[in-house]
Structure 1
C-alpha cells in the first residue's frame, strides 16, 4: 500500500514537471529571449522613440507611440509590471531564466530521490517476504 501511494506521488511530481514546469520554462525562455532581442535591438540602434502595435487582448491591436524607450515595463508575474531601464530588464531576464531552470532541476532531483526510495522499500519488502528476484 505504501508503495502504491509513493508511486502515485512520483507520478504526480512527474506530471507536474512535464505538464507545468517544462512548458512554463519553454514559454518563459521564449518570451524573455524575444524581450532580450528587442531590448538589444533598441540599444544597438539607439532608438529613442517608437511607434508600435499593442495587443489589447483577443487579437485586438492598437497603434501606440512611445516617446521615450529608455525604460521598459516588464511583466514580473501575477499581473504586476515593473519599470526597468534596459540594463535592469536584461539582468531581470537573466535571473528569471536561471531561476526557472533551477526549479525544473530541483523537481527532477526530487523525483529521482523518490524513485530511489520506492525501489529501496520494494527491495526491502521483497527480502522480508523472501520473494525471489
Structure 2
C-alpha cells in the first residue's frame, strides 16, 4: 500500500512541476505583456489629449532609432498620427480617430487581462488542489 501511495505522490508532484507550474509561468508572462500593451495605449491616449488641449500643431522631439540612440526630429503637422494596429501595420489617424481606436483597443485588452487573470486563478487553484491531495496521501495534518 505504501508503494502505491508513493507512486501517486510522485505522479502528483510531477504533474505540478511539469505541467501546472510552466502553464502558470506562461499565463503570467502573457498577462504581463497585456499590461505593457495597455500602458502603451494609455500613454498614447494621454499624449494625444495633451496635444489637443494645448492645440499643438508642430513638435520637436527626440526619437529612439535603436540601441538607445536618439535623433532629434521635427514634426511639422501633429494633427495626423500613425498608430500600430497590430501585425506590423500602422494606420494614419486624426486625433479623434486615434482616440476612438484606442478606446476600442483598451476595452479589448482589458477583456484579455480579465481572461488571463481568471486562467491564472484556475491554475493556482489546481496547484492547491493537487498539493492538498499530496498532503492527504502523506496523511499530514491540515
TM-score by length of 1: 0.71
Q: 1:8, CA displacement in angstroms?
A: 4.5
CA contact (8 A) 1:74 1:82 kept: yes
- The one of 57, 69, 83 equivalent to 1:48 is 57
> Counterpart of 1:13?
23
Residue correspondences, number: 126
> Counterpart of 2:6?
none
Moved more, 42-51 or 13-22: 13-22
Mapped partners of 1:69, 1:105: distance in 2: 34
> Counterpart of 1:101?
110
Structure with bigger gyration radius: 2
- Alignment pair present for 1:35 and 2:44: yes
> Counterpart of 2:95?
86
Mapped partners of 2:60, 2:120: distance in 1: 48
TM-score by length of 2: 0.67
Counterparts in 2 of 1:111 and 1:37: CA distance versus 1, 3 Å: closer
CA contact (8 A) 2:28 2:120 kept: no
- List gaps (5 residues or longer) in structure 2: 1-10
- Alignment pair present for 1:59 and 2:82: no
